[in-house]
Structure 1
Amino acid sequence: MIDGVKKDIEKLSGKIIEWRRDFHRHPEIAYEEKRTSSVIRQFLEGLDIPVSACAKTGLRGILEGRPGGKTVALRADIDALPLKEEGDKEYISENPEAAHACGHDGHMAILMGTAEVLSHRKDQFKGNVVFLFQPSEERIPGGAKKMIEEGALKGVDAVFGLHLWQPLPTGFVGIVKGAMMAQPDAFTVTVRGKGGHGSMPHTTVDPILVASHLVVNIQSIVSRNVDPLKPVVVSFGTVKGGTIYNIIPGEVSLTGTVRTFDSSIQSLAEKRLKEIVEETCKTFGATAEFEYEKGYPSLINPEGMTDFVLEVTRNTLGEDRIQEIDPVMGGEDFAYFLQKVPGAFLFFGMGDGMEFPHHHPAFDLDEKALPRATLLMTSLALEFLAAKE
């Protein structure tokens, strides 16, 4: 069957690229993916795949093969990022406030291609394929959890997902057994002091000075509180305060992120952040408000399902298409799916000639990866359904 599938995808490759470019021109951010959802719904219904809304703008389609058998789910995220795209590509975003700068446009096109190929072969396999088009992957708390709450995984025996990955060469697959992606938490610190004239700092409680010490002191969490053999990141993303050069402001706000694979390290980092903020502010006579928001859980690939993905990759793309990778500190709410049913998440390379990384305003992807990724997703579904219990 695989040879026929390859031929089907070769014929479909131009359409897959067209779908991706259409989504790229019309990006929509989390829970605003109305046009996106409408396009996908019409496409699935045109294949006689029943579709239901899930998690506001998300969709769940189910393709029924021959009676009996298992049910496998395949997922693509559909949201864009809230940034203005840069560059001169012919399919540049027509929405000045959003851009597909992470590859989700490609994910949708891949899953649509998979759906079309499988829909024409539904009499050749036993079981069902569920297509999950998920909103809001980019915005915590994410859309995966809400989809699960609304029944997206009902009756599902396994779930697979991929992310097009710029650091990997085009057509290569990277996957990690166990912890592959981190838990991405966020925190906000608001330092409140006493403002005044820049020429009379002795009459103030300078929140800029306090914030500066906070940034330095908090680095000790990684260097002195956590076992150096256990990965953790604590980074600041913004520091905001003041309006003019000669006024010491009354308030400074800081935001940052904590990334870790280990829940006990996450708890330690949260605890130490709060303590350091409180004690540092007290030292200078300031006060602080501390907020901590837990992100998605760490994405954990089960060993058996990871081996299954590697086996299918070898059989479909070749042994030489597998590249060993390390875990990454990025977050991914596909982790929620893997907490509920067996499955696996993989990176699919599309980096040939692509200079700009994910989330860069000029990000793009090597479209030669799209048909190859479609072949892999299709093969994962067919091989899982064909495998013995």
Structure 2
Amino acid sequence: MDVKVEVAKLKDELITLRRDFHRHPELGFQEKRTSQIVETYLKDLGLQVRRCAGTGVIGVLTGNRPGKTVMLRCDIDALPVTEETGLSFASENPGVMHACGHDSHTAMLLVAAKILAQHRDEVNGTIVFLFQPNEEDAGAEEMVKQGALENPRPDAVFGLHIWSPIAVGKIGIIPGPIMASSYYFKITIHGRGGHGGAPHTAINPIVTAGHILSAIDSLHADELNSLKPTVISTCKIHSGVKEIIIPDELTMEGSIRCLHDNDDAVRSRFSALVEGICQAYRCTCDIKYVCGNTLLNNDNAMAKMVADTAAQVVGPENVQTKDVAVMLGDDFAEFSRRIPGAYFFLGTGNPQKHTDVEHHNCHFNIDEDSMPIGVAMHVTNALNYLNQ
């Protein structure tokens, strides 16, 4: 099969699917309309289809000859963002937007499934198409718990993310760590409320929080190895009800992200700092962590296979292997830490089309010319792996 020719035949359908998903975004584990469209589409292709984790959908294509099993994964959820792109197909769901490109991910994997189903006589083995809900809030682990990696058990997994920092027409791929682990923290500092005019009679948790923020800066500068990237961001602080009342407590929320596998030690030191400062300033505290995702660490052999595929699809000069890793996270890691996998970035940045806007921004959009490349990567990755 000439993959590029097959993709070109379906470009209009690809764009139509993406714009429909974009117009009707749904938050994590609420993707009812999206998953129903995905389920129906896969069934119409003759795939074995099942639900997993509520709105997750898994389709299985069995080739005409026995062989290994490869999984292709995409995410289907949107974000709680009010869209301001002005697109003719902008979100019709107030306060919800596909501000990260998952609409295009869904469309690309559906069209890839269609091409591979039409050419199943060229498939040696089995292909699993996994449409994951709630990537923005750790939905992959729930799918794993409910058996997404069983019946059949994949031997390998590939995934992609459309990426505005990389120019359209390019593919970003590296072996090893490519996206950071992310753990979300919530600190509750307990003080003692009182009158703003008599602070000596109270214990002000706001003062304590200020010292914690300073300690985080010192931790970054003086203790953490700068050659092992770590980012600690405090993004939410809440306390108090009136300007003359010292509050009883304060909450701080943020994330700890590590592009290395020593994240346990970072969290341990972070907790010790917070607890020590609270004790020094006569407060107590509770610290809770929630895992957003573990370190996304590309298997060396799988990453090389993606790089070779990308050279086929876009040419070796358009395969980016430097300045690719980021401190953002993706729970594709929950699949690839269990089976060999590789995750890569599909460039969509184009200043002339205003598609170089940062992800999660209310003006985010993609260059739809990047989508046929993504479909070709899915199809070729699967065939190259199964037919190697």
Same fold (TM over 0.5): yes
Match of 1:54 in 2: 52
**Amino acid in structure 2 at the alignment position of 1:123:** D
**179-188 or 321-330, which deviates more:** 321-330
- SS of the aligned residue for 2:337 comes to helix
How far apart, CA to CA, are the structure 2 residues paired with 1:17 and 1:71?
A: 29
For structure 1, list consecutive stretches of 5 or more residues without a partner in the other structure.
none
Deviation at 1:33, TM superposition (A): 0.9
Match of 2:135 in 1: 137
The one of 106, 109, 122 equivalent to 1:108 is 106
- Given that 1:179 and 1:299 are in contact with CA atoms closer than 8 Å, whether structure 2 keeps it comes out as yes
Give RMSD over aligned pairs.
Answer: 1.5
Indicate how the Cα distance of structure 1 residues 372 and 236 shifts in structure 2: closer, same or farther if over 3 A, else same: same
Match of 1:223 in 2: 221
- Given that 1:21 and 1:91 are in contact with CA atoms closer than 8 Å, whether structure 2 keeps it comes out as yes
**Amino acid in structure 2 at the alignment position of 1:135:** P
Match of 2:252 in 1: 254
Match of 1:150 in 2: 147
How far apart, CA to CA, are the structure 2 residues paired with 1:155 and 1:280?
A: 48
Match of 1:314 in 2: 311
Aligned residue pairs total 383
Deviation at 1:346, TM superposition (A): 0.3
**Amino acid in structure 2 at the alignment position of 1:147:** V
**113-122 or 221-230, which deviates more:** 221-230
Deviation at 1:81, TM superposition (A): 1.1
Deviation at 1:355, TM superposition (A): 4.1
How far apart, CA to CA, are the structure 2 residues paired with 1:335 and 1:179?
A: 10
**Could you give the per-residue CA deviations for residues 116-171 of structure 1, whole angstroms, max 9, x where no partner exists?**
1111111233222111111111103x224523641435332211100000100012
**Amino acid in structure 2 at the alignment position of 1:360:** N
**286-295 or 45-54, which deviates more:** 286-295
Match of 1:377 in 2: 378
How far apart, CA to CA, are the structure 1 residues paired with 2:175 and 2:142?
A: 22
**Could you give the per-residue CA deviations for residues 44-94 of structure 1, whole angstroms, max 9, x where no partner exists?**
111111211112211111112212122211111111112222231111111
Match of 1:207 in 2: 205
TM-score relative to the length of structure 2: 0.95
Deviation at 1:19, TM superposition (A): 0.4
For structure 2, list consecutive stretches of 5 or more residues without a partner in the other structure.
none
**53-62 or 217-226, which deviates more:** 217-226
How far apart, CA to CA, are the structure 1 residues paired with 2:145 and 2:241?
A: 45
Match of 1:351 in 2: 349
- SS of the aligned residue for 1:340 comes to coil
How far apart, CA to CA, are the structure 2 residues paired with 1:160 and 1:61?
A: 15
- SS of the aligned residue for 1:28 comes to coil
- Given that 2:52 and 2:146 are in contact with CA atoms closer than 8 Å, whether structure 1 keeps it comes out as no
- SS of the aligned residue for 2:381 comes to helix
**167-176 or 147-156, which deviates more:** 147-156
**Could you give the per-residue CA deviations for residues 313-337 of structure 1, whole angstroms, max 9, x where no partner exists?**
1122211211123321111111121
The one of 88, 95, 98 equivalent to 2:96 is 98
Detail structure 1 runs of 4+ shifted over 6 Å in the superposition. Answer: none
- Given that 1:137 and 1:144 are in contact with CA atoms closer than 8 Å, whether structure 2 keeps it comes out as no
- Given that 1:55 and 1:150 are in contact with CA atoms closer than 8 Å, whether structure 2 keeps it comes out as no
How far apart, CA to CA, are the structure 2 residues paired with 1:127 and 1:149?
A: 24
How far apart, CA to CA, are the structure 1 residues paired with 2:333 and 2:140?
A: 11
Q: 1:36-75 maps to which residues of 2 (within 5 A)?
A: 36-75=34-73
**149-158 or 331-340, which deviates more:** 149-158
- Given that 2:27 and 2:79 are in contact with CA atoms closer than 8 Å, whether structure 1 keeps it comes out as yes
1:185 paired with 2:174, answer no
How far apart, CA to CA, are the structure 2 residues paired with 1:145 and 1:202?
A: 49
The one of 282, 287, 296 equivalent to 2:284 is 287
Indicate how the Cα distance of structure 1 residues 356 and 186 shifts in structure 2: closer, same or farther if over 3 A, else same: same
- SS of the aligned residue for 2:346 comes to strand
1:21 paired with 2:22, answer no
**Amino acid in structure 2 at the alignment position of 1:16:** L
Match of 2:339 in 1: 341
- Given that 1:30 and 1:136 are in contact with CA atoms closer than 8 Å, whether structure 2 keeps it comes out as yes
The one of 115, 118, 138 equivalent to 2:116 is 118
Deviation at 1:100, TM superposition (A): 0.8
**Amino acid in structure 1 at the alignment position of 2:185:** F
Indicate how the Cα distance of structure 1 residues 148 and 67 shifts in structure 2: closer, same or farther if over 3 A, else same: farther
How far apart, CA to CA, are the structure 1 residues paired with 2:225 and 2:175?
A: 22
Match of 2:363 in 1: 362
How far apart, CA to CA, are the structure 2 residues paired with 1:76 and 1:355?
A: 21
**Amino acid in structure 2 at the alignment position of 1:110:** M
Deviation at 1:16, TM superposition (A): 0.5
Match of 2:239 in 1: 241
Deviation at 1:196, TM superposition (A): 2.2
TM-score relative to the length of structure 1: 0.94
- Given that 2:140 and 2:334 are in contact with CA atoms closer than 8 Å, whether structure 1 keeps it comes out as no
How far apart, CA to CA, are the structure 2 residues paired with 1:172 and 1:269?
A: 34
**Could you give the per-residue CA deviations for residues 172-220 of structure 1, whole angstroms, max 9, x where no partner exists?**
1001211111110111111121222222222221111111111111222
1:268 paired with 2:265, answer yes
Aligned-pair identity (%): 39
Match of 1:328 in 2: 326
How far apart, CA to CA, are the structure 1 residues paired with 2:356 and 2:169?
A: 17
**Amino acid in structure 2 at the alignment position of 1:87:** T
- Given that 1:85 and 1:98 are in contact with CA atoms closer than 8 Å, whether structure 2 keeps it comes out as yes
- Given that 2:348 and 2:356 are in contact with CA atoms closer than 8 Å, whether structure 1 keeps it comes out as no
